[in-house]
Structure formats: C-alpha cells, structure tokens
Amino acid sequence: MNNLEKDLEAEISGGKTAAKNLTARIAKLDADTLKQQELIYNQDFTLQTLERRLWKMQGEVKSNAEEKALLAKVEELNEILNEKNQRHSLLSSQLKQLNEDM
C-alpha cells in the first residue's frame, strides 16, 4: 500500500498543481478580456465623438435638444432682424423728410 499511497499522493499533488495553473490561466484570460473590453469601449467612445463632430461639420443636427436650441436661436435672430429693418425704415423716412425740409 505504500506505493499505492505514494502514487495517489503524487496524482493528487499533480491535480492540485494543474488546478492552480488552470486557475492562474483563467485569471489571466479574464484580465485580458477586461483589457479588450476597455479598449473596445474607448474606441466606441472615440468613434461616437468623431461622428458627432462630423455631423456638426456637415450641418446635421443629432439630437432634438440641439435642433430646438438652433430653432430658438434662429427665431431670436429673425426678431432682431425685423427690429433692425423697422428702425432702418423709420430712419430712412426721417432722413427723406429732413432732406425735403432742407
């Protein structure tokens, strides 16, 4: 039984060593997977950022909030333009009246 016990102990020791090696390999593969997921996330984020910049350069609006903000700005600028046009008309008519009075 002595040889059988030694053989079994050697087999158990080998199994434990194999299990430790496999556990270490799994941990390494998990770390590699995490690094790859982080890299993919960063690339996706960079891609989205570049797409947004491209859309803005092409004049396309991505979100409703941006579109609403731009429409509000256009409306505000149109009101300012109307006020300026009215002031221009008034001043032009006053200038014409002054020229006639002279």
The residue behind tokens 């430790």 is: 20
Per-residue pLDDT tens for 32-70? Answer: 999 999 999 999 999 999 988 887 787 765 677 777 888
Instruction: Assign 62 to helix, strand or coil.
Output: coil
Write the DSSP symbol of residue 63.
Answer: S
pLDDT value of residue 38: 94
Per-residue pLDDT tens for 66-100? Answer: 778 889 999 999 999 999 999 999 999 998 898 88
pTM of the entire structure? 0.46
41: amino acid identity, one letter: Y
**What span, in angstroms and rounded, lies between the C-alpha atoms of 80 and 99?**
28
